[in-house]
Chain A
Amino acid sequence: MTNEEILPGLAEIVEEVAGVSKDDVSPEKSFVDDLDIDSLSMVEIAVQAEDKFGVKIPDDELANLKTVGDAVDYIARNSS
């Protein structure tokens, strides 16, 4: 999958879990600093992303996904 295909799906998950408008979920945004998403919500987003995109996001990888772009890149590299 390409980054352009992944972003809207990830944005949907972020909106569902954290109530952040899909339009605000853009690659340069930091989950914690810009979107005000706490660590528990990040776990929930990761679980949903795993299901949606068929990837594994181990906890030590999750810790490195600071921005929406980081997450999109990770999913693009690891999705089957």
Chain B
Amino acid sequence: MSDDTDVVVTGIGATTPIGGTAPDTWQAMLDGRIGVTANTAPWVEKYGLPVAIHAPLAVEPTEVLPRVEARRLDRCQQVALVAAREAWADAGEPDVDPERLGAVVGTGIGGALTLLGQDDLLETEGLRKVAVLTIPMLMPNGPAAAVGLWVKARGGVHAPVSACASGAEAMAWAYTMIKAGELDIALAGGAEASIHQLPVAGFSQMRAMSTRNDDPRTASRPFDVDRDGFVLGEGAGIVTLERRSHAVARGARIYGTLAGVGMSNDAHHITAPEPDGEGGSRAIGKALRSAGLSAKDIGHVNAHATSTPVGDVAESKTILRAIGDHPVVTATKSMTGHMLGASGAVEAIATLLAVRDGVVPGTRNVFTMDPKIDIDVATENRTVPLTAAVNDSFGFGGHNVALVFTGA
């Protein structure tokens, strides 16, 4: 049942550890490509970091962006721009009133490489060496601002920050603004690039990261009984969201519909998920209600599933509670690692394409399912006709975001 105020996806863009574009990333997911490798940066040894694995980008943004443009942007802004340009070109560079165009791009950490790198320069070389663009490069609205400035999004530029739910939350806010009639089109998603000694040291100190340094390929293993933490990745995912009536009027190709969104907060603990899955299930419930769907309509869940011992169990309870045991569940992070604020956006694109193609990419590296997890995890690609699918994302701070996608 479609209506003119539906929010549809007319363009997709991504740059990830397994592909430099959205189609390449989707194909890599279907092929089971793993983006996790050994991290040979000198700082791993220098500081005795327990984590020597990461999931770096498959294609460097500096290979795609003009040199002078790239040097004025933090890496997280670079990846945002790469994905945004792809999503915009893919949508056919829509002719739209700039005041009806928005950009909503979230990030978990923002310009950490600039913040930390420039502080180093200040301490070692002095004030004169500090880049004049340090502040716009490190600010957390930097990726959103870079995208908004490039596309001329005069209707509004926003940067939701909710840790690892940021990219999904950006799509939720863009959806809400289009639904409210404020915008006709928005570029929406998330960007992250913070593979650096300090974030790795911090996450390590939390004991949140996998230390399976001797076998990088199998280190990210959501739902496996021997999982030992997440693998830090980097990337960006951006979609062109558009009011259906606008898309139809210009004859745009429609990938599918962002049929509903839901957000909630655990208000339980600053980092640990609410163990019974109650908070996350409220977000999914809201998303289903806003989509006008019921739990039985949901055939697939693209899970947040970061490969941490506690998080994956809590999420399985969330899914059981909010939807049931019937959806086919997959964990994209088994291939991409955890792109923090970009992960929800990239996984939203995977969810959209799963509905379009009727195929769920398998979760890689599940050797022995955790007996405490009672959901239907696809461990190989699964062909399933899908009416609707859910993508859920959770972030430190108790943030829960759920997105529901249906067909075109």
A18 to B68, CA, bound (A): 6
Contacts of A43 in B (CB 8 A): 132
Q: Does B96 contact A (CB under 8 A)?
A: no
Q: Is A44 an interface position by the 8 A CB rule?
A: yes
Is B133 close to A, CB under 8 A? Answer: yes
Cα A19 to Cα B72 in complex, Å, equals: 11
- A17 to chain B: closest CB distance in Å? 8
| A47 and B67 contact, CB distance less than 8 A | no
CB of A23 to closest CB in B, whole Å = 16
Contact present for B128 and A50 (CB under 8 Å): yes
**CB-nearest residue of chain A to B133:** A40
The reply to whether B67 and A19 contact each other, CB–CB distance below 8 Å, is: yes
Task: Give A40 to B128 CA distance when docked, in angstroms.
Answer: 13
Q: Is B131 an interface residue (CB 8 A)?
A: yes
Give the contact-size bracket for chain B. under 10
Whole-angstrom distance between the alpha carbons of A17 and B69 in the complex? 10
Minimum CB–CB distance from A65 to chain B (whole Å) comes to: 16
> Is B132's CB under 8 angstroms from A40's CB?
yes
| A44–B132 touching, CB < 8 Å | yes
Closest to A44 in B: B132
A30-69 vs B, CB cutoff 8 Å, 1 = contact: the mask equals 0000000000110110010010000000000000000000
**Does B66 contact A44, Cβ atoms closer than 8 Å?**
no
Q: Across the two chains, which residue of chain A brings its CB closest to B69?
A: A19
Q: Quick check: A19 and B128 within 8 Å, CB to CB?
A: no
> CB-nearest residue of chain B relative to A51?
B128
User: Total interface residues on A, using CB and 8 Å?
Assistant: 9
CA A43 – CA B68 in complex, angstroms? 16
**A40 contacts which chain B residues (CB < 8 A)?**
132-133
Give Cα distance in the complex from A62 to B116, angstroms: 29
B131 pairs with A44, CB closer than 8 A: yes
Cα separation A26 to B129 with both chains bound (whole Å)? 27
Distance in Å: Cβ of B358 to nearest Cβ of chain A:
46
- B128 and A47 form a contact (CB under 8 A): yes
**A residues 1-42 with Cβ under 8 Å of B?**
17-19, 40-41
Contacts of B69 in A (CB 8 A): 19
Contacts of B132 in A (CB 8 A): 40-41, 43-44
Within 8 A of A (CB), among B49-97: 66-69
Q: In the complex, what residues of A have CB within 8 A of residue B129's CB?
A: 47
**Within 8 Å CB of B66, what residues of A?**
19
Residues from chain B with a CB closer than 8 A to the CB of A47 are: 128-129
Q: Which residue of B is nearest A39, CB measured?
A: B132
State A32–B132 Cα separation when bound (angstroms).
17
> How near does chain A come to B269, taking the closest CB pair, in angstroms?
42
Residues of A within 8 A of B67 (CB): 19
- Asked if residues B68 and A19 are in contact (CB atoms below 8 Å), the reply is yes
CA A17 – CA B71 in complex, angstroms?
Answer: 8
CB-defined contacts of B68 to chain A, threshold 8 Å: 17-19
CA distance A44 to B69 in the complex (A): 14
Q: Kindly list chain B residues whose C-beta atoms are within 8 Å of the C-beta of A50.
A: 128
**Which residue, of B66, B68, B128, has the highest number of chain A Cβ atoms within 10 A?**
B68
**How far, in Å, is A4 (CB) from chain B's closest CB?**
26
Q: State the CA gap A50–B128 with chains docked (Å).
A: 10
How many angstroms from the CA of A49 to the CA of B67 in the assembled complex? 20
Digit string of B98-130 for contact with A (CB within 8 Å is 1, else 0)? Answer: 000000000000000000000000000000110
Give me 15 A-to-B residue pairs in the complex whose CB atoms sit less than 8 angstroms apart, sorted by A's number: A17-B68, A18-B68, A19-B66, A19-B67, A19-B68, A19-B69, A40-B132, A40-B133, A41-B132, A43-B132, A44-B131, A44-B132, A47-B128, A47-B129, A50-B128
Q: Which 4 A-B pairs have the closest CB atoms?
A: A19-B68, A40-B132, A43-B132, A44-B132
Given contacts A41-B132, A50-B128, 12 further A-B contacts (CB under 8 A): A17-B68, A18-B68, A19-B66, A19-B67, A19-B68, A19-B69, A40-B133, A43-B132, A44-B131, A44-B132, A47-B128, A47-B129
